[in-house]
Amino acid sequence: MSVAAARHRSPAVLVAVLGAAAVGIALLGLLAGSDGWSLAWIDDWPLITAIRAPRTLGAALAGALLGLSGALAQGVFRNPLADPYLLGSAAGAGLAVVLVLAAGGLLGSVIGLANAELLVRTGLVAAAFAGALAGVALTLVLARGAGRRTVLLLSGVVVGVLLTAVADLVLLAAPEAMRGKQVFLLGTTGFFGWPSVGLMAAVLAVVLPASMALARVLDALVLGEGGAASLGLPVARLRLVLVALMALATGTAVAQAGLVAFVGLVSPHLVRRWVTVRHAALLALSSLAGAVLLMAADLMARTVIAPEELPVGILTAVLGGLFLMRLLHRQGP
């Protein structure tokens, strides 16, 4: 679809399409289990309420957070290839997860394997969230704030490489943590429960309205740093707030689902290919598109090779990569 055609598309139509897709995929998600497709709610309602419903809703919320974060990242950096993990959040979360897993292995010899596994399971989510925020904080410290976009971007790259290297060093000392890290890196929606759903819903309810309220900054940044400053906007301070919102949304999604690739990068592209809107609408639509994408990936992960299950991050990486390759090919040289 050309840009000119996208300008004449109605955002309401896109909302209707994405909403219908979300409802349809959610209903299919209630039917999909470890044994394939079944009408389990007819004779096993607890299975629906305890496992399938929170998993489906959790995938939607995690996807919405990632889609919103991707739109924020692309607006803040004025780069269509920016993604939510750009500022070191992924590397920070990965390092925190490795440290918890390695500590669990050491504790297992002291307090018993069962007790250590319980501590690890309860600590991974908090560690991943704290690690993601710490990675972004370290990037901001290195860049001395969010005033210089290029320096902030390069600082994120440096922090990502550094924290990843530290995590690899920890794995050399505690190789038993490799399996747990691999599960985290591949992304999973299999551990969602109602507490996860409640937490992600609460964060989305805070971050989405706050981001939309500051969307005028992203609109102004389209004019460049000087153009935005000429409008009387405190660009550096507001960009810092937007980065903090992006880190909060990304850290929450990563803590619950691991590193799910491409959802944050692809969602804004899908929206922009359909309709041309200002950033406030783009943020909301990207969030909805991310929810649909991750719900669809979760449904495929459960059913493609049932009763086995694919890591959802692999599916999003493959499908997102193919979409971007097709997009680049159609744009041509």
pLDDT at position 191: 82
For residue 304, the surrounding DSSP H or E stretch is none
pLDDT at position 92: 92
pLDDT at position 148: 80
pLDDT at position 135: 93
Residue 51 DSSP class: I
Residue 177 DSSP class: G
Where the chain has pLDDT below 50, the residues are 107-119
CA distances from 105 to 111, 130, 144, 228, 246 (A): 10, 20, 37, 51, 33
Contact 245, 210 (CB under 8 A): yes
3-state DSSP assignment of residue 32: strand
**How far out from the chain centre does Cα 134 lie?**
17
Q: Which residue, 28, 17, 11, 39, is CA-closest to 296?
A: 28
Distance CA 174, CA 193 (A): 30
pLDDT at position 282: 95
Q: Which residue, 163, 236, 244, is CA-closest to 207?
A: 244
For the chain, domains (ranges, CATH) are 3-331 (1.10.3470.10)
pLDDT at position 273: 87
Distance CA 271, CA 95 (A): 33
pLDDT at position 107: 46
pLDDT at position 291: 96
Output phi, psi for 36, to 5 deg: 95, -145
Output phi, psi for 37, to 5 deg: -85, 135
pLDDT at position 8: 59
Output phi, psi for 144, to 5 deg: 60, 50
pLDDT at position 35: 65
Model pTM score = 0.89
Distance CA 265, CA 321 (A): 10
Q: Which residue, 286, 264, 253, is CA-closest to 81?
A: 264
Residue 33 DSSP class: E
